[in-house]
Structure 1
Amino acid sequence: MTTVEEAQFWQAIGILIKNYHALNKKIFEVVLTQVEKQQDGRLCDSSEEELWKSLKENPNQRTCSGFKIGFKLLPKKLPENILATGTVDFEKCLYECQFASDEIEDFSVRLLGGQLLLESKQNPNWLEFVLKPKLLSWSQSKQEESKVKSLGLVDVEKYNDLYKQLKQKHSQRLLDYWKTAQESTDPLKFIYEDLAIAAYLIVLWNQTQTEPKAFADLGCGNGLLVHVLNAEGFKGYGYDIRKRKLWSLYPADTQQSLLEKAVEPNSFRLDFPEVDWLIGNHSDELSPWLPVLAGRLNINYFLLPCCPYELSGAKFRRRNTKISAYQDFFQYVTQVSRECGFEVLQDRLKIPSTKRLALIGIKRNPTKDLEYFVQEELRKYKTGESEIKLREKEESVRNCTQVEKSIIDGLVLKIFTQLLASNADKWSGRLPMREIAQSLTKEELSGIKSECGGIKTLLRNKHEVFEFCGGDLIGIRTPKAKAPLLQSRLTTKKRSCFFKLYHPLGCPLADAECSFIH
């Protein structure tokens, strides 16, 4: 049984106070509205800074016996916010939380003899299986202050209210567009992500008094963000090298705002002189160029960088291997922004993506020698001004998806049969990658030898059949039932079920549960 020390207990309570929404999926965020400290038997005004400091302090150095905290819980769906009160009692090692709503149960947490004692009148399972494990985890964690706070540049309550309004107003129509276009991408991710980004931009523009005369979304993809912002009264345009199926389903004004046009950094000119904001929403090769283009035009920008690329269009070369590749690239684009003369703002968005750090450039000092920096950066990596090459309109695909279908099908079936034979139960089976590769002839491998990743890429692309089981092992994936909502409303079955066709025992799923045609 894990023993918790007092310092660890208050560390966990401090995280709980700020992150109750991590335990309750109905809550978007927690906002502290009031902090009072208990001192000499009476309550007096205090601050969040003093609260966090006291929770971390040595008990002998504390100047108060506890705190009373006022909360506002921002629900994801309920129209009204929920008020709550938290009480910190240092002398009893006790934290109590009471909610002014029947939607959420009151609870208390106490440290006694190194153990956590949790109480709730109506929800003991939540205490035992949700709250307690989380508190134990938080008590043992090493806490480091995040350099970029979530939604640190906007009013969280205004953002949450607007996000709920946008979901109610747009989500169903956008889901219908997705179904009509028969898009293969996940609508729940793309729709709610772009609605969240739209809500963020609108609140940011209002708070910073930088509402655009017009915006331009470079690398706009499906044009969803342009459509939502236009529908909310913000004039703007989207540029992308290729038209998407969804474009033709939007209203006429949005269709007219979407331009099938390449963005070549050294020759790109905006078609609309009123544009005073550039947007880069997961803009891939254009990401490092967004601050450069905004600097050249002397306008503002918002950038949500995703896949890492150099200014040349080549894959990003690591500068700092002590941090993650994503953080390394984010720091690089931040440096580019500063070299372009921007006072760079950073924020962390709440979107369904692992790449959610944003850069915002509003104020700019135009004395920076922008062009000198760009050319030096290109020369440094021997790319030269004339060799800047971003995305082609028709991209060559080298991931085994362009190999002749008969070759792919033959290899998949052979490997599948080989895995089946390796296990007596005739359902699954595992073999080392090396053994699989050695069993294939040169002729069989010649059809994919020029493809990036070769046999490994082939197996990854057939993820509905095969799975990587750790180490060098490859196995047969057991089909899993999909959520009924996704099957009935959002996706269209396009391919036959591999297991129904080729597995001796057939597919273990019913037709309604399987993602493929039976």
Structure 2
Amino acid sequence: MSAVEEQQFWVAIGILIKNYHALNKKIFGVVITQVQKQQDEQLCDSTQDELEMTLREQPERRTCKGFRIGFKLLPKKLKENILATGFVGETIDTFNYLLFLFLNVLTDFQERHYKCLFASDDFENFSVRLNGGQLEVESKQTEWQEFSLKSKLLSWSQSKQDDTKVKSLGLVNVEKYNDLYKELKQKHAQRLLQYWQTAQESTDPLKFIYEDLAIAAYLIVLWAQTQTEPKAFADLGCGNGLLVHILNAEGYKGYGYDIRKRKLWSLYPEETSSNLIEQAVEPNSFGLDFPDIDWLIGNHSDELSPWLPVLAGRLGTHFFLLPCCPYELSGAKFQRRNTSISAYQDFFHYVLTVSEQCGFETLQDRLKIPSTKRLALLGLKRTTRDTQNLEHFVQEELQKYKIGDPNDETITIKLREKEERVRNCTQVDRCIIDGLVLKIFRLLLASHEDSWSGRLSMRQIAQTLTKEELSGIKAECGGIKTLLRNKHEVFQFCGGDLFGIRKPQTTAVPHPRLTTKKRDCFFKLHHPLGCPLDDAECTFIH
């Protein structure tokens, strides 16, 4: 293990102080309740900012011996929050030192050699020291200290400070949020799961239920903190209407708009189902049917995401937006602006720019939800009420993707169709699919790069097929390429534009009582050399 420098050690400790929950999955978050610094054997009040600045400083420039930190740990399931005390600084023997004591009651430190008199049954006390460039950790849970605590500290010691990163739940009181989230789960989760089972929804209920409960908790705490509680809200592109239902059940008046009605809508109580409106949200003509709406919500609203700030600006409302699938204002797929960052970050910055062009003082936050798309934009206040610049910006953006006659001033915005077609080759006649698969298979065999398989480019494959053969799938997304990818048990993507025949490989055979072979082996039927696997090894019927 490479040596850890002293400054790297303090970087890791600084991260640990604020992120203990990363080491303990029972903990949702950590709140620092008190900071005291030790000078001349005395403890005096200090601040979290001073603590962070001291940890970043070079050791020789520090003016205090250490800090005593009071914590409140927010459990995910336990009803009561847990108190803890930590000490960070230098011990008498000059080892760099951190000690965590998890307590039922906060007590003052009495001596340099501390004893925990009120240790919690739920969490393990531990200490961390830097001795001669090596991390030394102590706790009774040896496996946890080695593979979780020590591993994380070593990783964090290599971290670089990034002050530009959006902090998780930075705009709300984390303790109030966690308490409310636990309360909402207790009240609603089981009943919502029953709705899912009754409707026989194909989507994952746990992801949707816990995600929307978390978003509802976030909005309720945010509204209370910022004194922007809505008279009524509108969730645009509300999908299954779950967020609308939760907020309605918690006493918040609001409506949901979506182009298609979902099966779950009819299962909600009347006060929710009557507020779910089957209607396309056409940006240039959309107006509020209910004049008391003063909040717009976009919860993974796909094509509508970049339009949320625009509509909020036009209608004079606040907005909350979780951008998801990347689209331009025109409805076209988002075109990358900055390839030095991820596609999601690039799109997020685009929507942020749209919001700022609409005159909003836009806030950013990172939610704790079971989704990779959890960066939120909030428009609570506008810097200007003038909509002229807003409309000028929108028209400029739409002109980039103008559809139809260039001399026609009408600009078409292409959003989602009411009936969403399934276009992944699964709806094509089975005889057409089987015929194409066998012909392409034989084409690849004929190229005989080796005794088992050849390779051909997509272009070569397409050129050998007739128009009649391609007509059955020409309207499908991806066309012939999608067909080849869907038949992954026969074909394999070889990089670039090349496809070849996949040679079956031996895999761990599932228990025979748990798996039943349902389809004939393609290679046993059609390959000149047959299937290279024995009947017991192959997952298809020989």
TM range (shorter): 0.7 to 0.9
Note the C-alpha offset of 1:53: 1.3
Higher alpha-carbon deviation: 190-199 or 247-256 = 247-256
Residue 102 (1) aligns with residue 102 (2): no
In structure 2, distance between residues paired with 1:168 and 1:416:
55
CA contact (8 A) 2:244 2:256 kept: yes
CA contact (8 A) 1:437 1:455 kept: no
Counterpart in the other structure of 1:24:
24
What amino acid is the match of 1:200? Y
Note the C-alpha offset of 1:173: 1.0
Counterpart in the other structure of 1:38:
38
**Runs of 5+ consecutive residues of structure 1 not aligned to the other structure:** 420-429, 482-495, 509-518
Task: Name which of 316, 331, 347 aligns with 2:349.
Answer: 331
The root-mean-square deviation of aligned C-alpha atoms, in Å, is 3.2
- 1:42-82 superposed Cα distances (whole Å, 9 cap, x missing partner): 11111111111111211111111111111111011100111
Counterpart in the other structure of 1:57:
57
User: Which residues of 2 match residues 310-389 of structure 1 at below 5 A?
Assistant: 310-364=328-382, 365-369=384-388, 370-383=390-403, 385-389=410-414
Q: 1:113 to 1:336 in 2, by over 3 A?
A: same
Higher alpha-carbon deviation: 407-416 or 172-181 = 407-416
Paired residues, number: 484
Q: 1:498 to 1:307 in 2, by over 3 A?
A: farther
User: Which residues of 2 match residues 56-455 of structure 1 at below 5 A?
Assistant: 56-90=56-90, 91-100=94-103, 101-121=120-140, 123-364=141-382, 365-369=384-388, 370-383=390-403, 385-408=410-433, 434=456, 442=465, 447-448=472-473, 450-454=475-479
Q: Which has the larger radius of gyration?
A: 2
Counterpart in the other structure of 2:117:
none
CA contact (8 A) 2:306 2:327 kept: yes
In structure 1, distance between residues paired with 2:433 and 2:28:
45
What amino acid is the match of 1:35? V
Aligned sequence identity (%)? 72
CA contact (8 A) 2:398 2:411 kept: no
In structure 2, distance between residues paired with 1:506 and 1:410:
27
SS in 2 for 1:386: coil
In structure 2, distance between residues paired with 1:415 and 1:26:
53
In structure 2, distance between residues paired with 1:17 and 1:330:
30
In structure 2, distance between residues paired with 1:260 and 1:17:
49
SS in 2 for 1:15: helix
Query: TM-score by structure 2 length?
Result: 0.81
What amino acid is the match of 1:29? G
Note the C-alpha offset of 1:439: 8.8
Q: Quick one: higher RCO (CA 8 Å, sep 6+), 1 or 2?
A: 1
SS in 2 for 1:200: helix
CA contact (8 A) 1:3 1:115 kept: yes
In structure 1, distance between residues paired with 2:193 and 2:438:
36
* Structure with the bigger percentage of helix: 1
- 1:16-55 superposed Cα distances (whole Å, 9 cap, x missing partner): 1111111111110111111111112211111111111111
CA contact (8 A) 2:301 2:323 kept: yes
In structure 1, distance between residues paired with 2:248 and 2:489:
39
- 1:388-447 superposed Cα distances (whole Å, 9 cap, x missing partner): 12111123443323322444467779999999xxxxxxxxxx989759998997367664
CA contact (8 A) 1:375 1:385 kept: no
In structure 2, distance between residues paired with 1:157 and 1:343:
26
Note the C-alpha offset of 1:382: 3.1
In structure 1, distance between residues paired with 2:17 and 2:455:
48
SS in 1 for 2:476: coil
SS in 1 for 2:274: helix
Query: TM-score by structure 1 length?
Result: 0.85
- 1:235-280 superposed Cα distances (whole Å, 9 cap, x missing partner): 1110000011111111122111111100001111221111111111
